[in-house]
Structure 1
Amino acid sequence: MNSYDLNDAGPDGPSLDDLAEIEREMPLIDAEVLLLDAQITILCAEPAPSDLDWQRVRRARRQVMREARALLAVRATSGRGIRVA
């Protein structure tokens, strides 16, 4: 039987800290996916985007901004600041 300890993750996989950071960023990632989906709907709308389509984009943008602010606030209180990959 192959035993795998997450604490021993090698260079081929994310560390526990990386996984924790991804988990913290998931609400922002989800919001960005919803925004992308709304933007794709606008681009593919036939014959033209409806008012509801545009409202969906605006709502998704606001959600992305809320989640980004929340993530920055968490990072500011933890003293980590902004990490650029």
Structure 2
Amino acid sequence: MRHIGAVQVVVTADDFDREPTLAELDAIELESPLILAEVDLLDAQIKAMDHPENDVDTRRIRRAHNRVLAARRDAANRTANEVLPGGAA
């Protein structure tokens, strides 16, 4: 039996085979402080799960939560201050 298959590589690029665009990289860079703050909060919550609750864990989680809120506020203010093309107000 003869194998029937593509002899050449696919000409069109698949969506998963491309590099991120500059706009996508800029969006990731803008969101990275929030992502890092959420990771810190998750780490603090995971550490607190391993043993009974104590004051140090409570403070660690509260500080991490405040960092998440601050990062969300900064991201919201940053996008609110952006000027959209076209001059729409």
Q: Which band: TM-score by shorter chain?
A: 0.7 to 0.9
Distance across 1 between alignment mates of 2:83 and 2:66: 26
Q: How many residues align?
A: 69
Match of residue 33, structure 1, among 39, 44, 48: 39
Larger Rg: 2
Unaligned runs of 5+ in 2: 1-13, 85-89
TM-score by length of 1: 0.74
- 1:65 matched to 2:69? The reply is yes
1:3 is aligned to none
Distance across 2 between alignment mates of 1:50 and 1:19: 40
Runs of 4 or more, structure 1, over 6 Å off, are none
In terms of fraction of residues, the more helix-rich structure is 1
TM-score by length of 2: 0.71
Distance across 1 between alignment mates of 2:60 and 2:26: 30
C-alpha RMSD over aligned residues:
1.6
Among all aligned residue pairs of Structure 1 and Structure 2, give the percentage whose two residues are the same amino acid: 39
Higher RCO, Cα 8 Å, sep 6+: 2
Letter aligned with residue 79 of structure 2: R
